[in-house]
Amino acid sequence: MPFGSSAAERTRIVAGFQRALADHGMVVPMATTNLFSQPIFKDGAFTANDPRVRAFALAKTLWAIDLGVELGARIYVFWGGREGTEADACRDPRTAIGRMRDALDFLCEYVRDRKYDLRFALEAKPNEPRGDIYMPTTGHMLHFISTLAHPQMVGVNPEVAHETMSGLSMAHAVAQAMEANKLFHIDLNAQRIGRYDQDFRFGSEDLRQAFLLVRLLEGTAGGARYEGPLHFDSHAYRTEDDEGVWDFARGSMRTYKILKERAQAFDADPRVRALIAERRDARLESLARGYAPHKAQALKGEVFDAAAIAREGLGYERLDQWMVEHMLGVH
Ligand code: MN
Ligand code: CA
């Protein structure tokens, strides 16, 4: 066992943990491995150039998977904090991606071999603590998953802060993951674009994105709901004492629940429903869906009044103002 504790010590720690969980009626939905703090991971873990480091990372993860499963985890998160570069000439990025695939394929086989009920969730981040981290967004991860030997076992764990650091829409990233049935886990927090990884209390920055994210996760606009664990990966401000930390934890959950109510009210508002109701045109929709040679021919012969269509106002200013007013609790 390479990670400090003896077998007896491990048994004692696990038993203590299990007792504490039972006492509080709690479960461990997720486990993970720290593959970024130990100095041995200075050049990466699964993508490091030194095969000893890659093997160590794999061994550490195997031990941690066993422990996670023993404590009841059903999701295993991978955040490759050191899987990147500053001196980018040190390896071909394609080699790094290939090594990451080898590691994930190995670990998927291990889980299958052990008959564990465990799925993996990959967490993207564009930079910090590396100059650049490989596969920097949830979208990159989604494609990478499709190249694995067992893609059905692997999904994503998008984090508000990480997606926002890239200047991208968290709601769009999560929507793409949901649409692909790949949203296995989520890290809720808050972040401003262009800053260090802030990990603030959920909803404390960019309330619009927080609102749109909760609306999406809860399916208040009509789409499928996210059924997985709602996980807050965040830190209280360093100004806080113990009580302030509880304020922080309560605030995260409270804001989520308030935004859920606000999203339900927004989507139940008849003005909103009327404005976003899908415009239908049965003939054109049937022509444009499902290729057939005669459909292509018909579309090429269709006469469109593009100027007239372009002149129609869509009312999105009104829609957006209603959304802001619902968020502010005016309605
Ligand atoms: Mn973060
Ligand atoms: Ca995270």
Q: How confident is the model at residue 6 (pLDDT cuts 50, 70, 90)?
A: confident
In three-state secondary structure terms, 326 is helix
Over residues 157-186, the mean pLDDT reads: 98
Q: Which ligand is nearest to the CA of 187?
A: 2
Q: In 3D, which of 286, 276, 284 has the Cα closest to residue 316?
A: 276
- CA–centroid distance, 205 to ligand 1, in Å, is 14
Rg (CA), the chain: 23
**Residue 230 class from Cβ within 10 Å (0-12 exposed, 13-18 middle, 19+ buried)?**
middle
- CA–centroid distance, 35 to ligand 1, in Å, is 15
Q: What is the pLDDT of residues 73-132, one digit of tens each?
A: 999 999 999 999 999 999 999 999 999 999 999 999 999 999 999 999 999 999 999 999
Mean pLDDT of the chain: 96
Provide the pLDDT for residue 174. 98
Over residues 189-206, the mean pLDDT reads: 97
- CA–centroid distance, 159 to ligand 1, in Å, is 7
Provide the pLDDT for residue 331. 85
Q: Which ligand is nearest to the CA of 122?
A: 2
Provide the pLDDT for residue 66. 96
Structure tokens at 45: 């873990």
- CA–centroid distance, 273 to ligand 1, in Å, is 35
Q: Which ligand is nearest to the CA of 231?
A: 2
Over residues 32-40, the mean pLDDT reads: 97
- CA–centroid distance, 80 to ligand 1, in Å, is 12
Residues surrounding ion ligand 2 at CB below 5 Å: 159, 187, 233
Beta carbons of 121 and 76 less than 8 angstroms apart: yes
Q: What is the pLDDT of residues 200-259, one digit of tens each?
A: 999 999 999 999 999 999 999 999 999 999 999 999 999 999 999 999 999 999 999 999
CB atoms within 10 A of CB 196: 11
Q: Which ligand is nearest to the CA of 233?
A: 2
CA neighbours closer than 13 Å in the CB half-sphere of residue 283: 3
Domains of the chain, with CATH numbers?
A: 7-269 (3.20.20.150), 272-327 (no CATH)
Provide the pLDDT for residue 4. 61
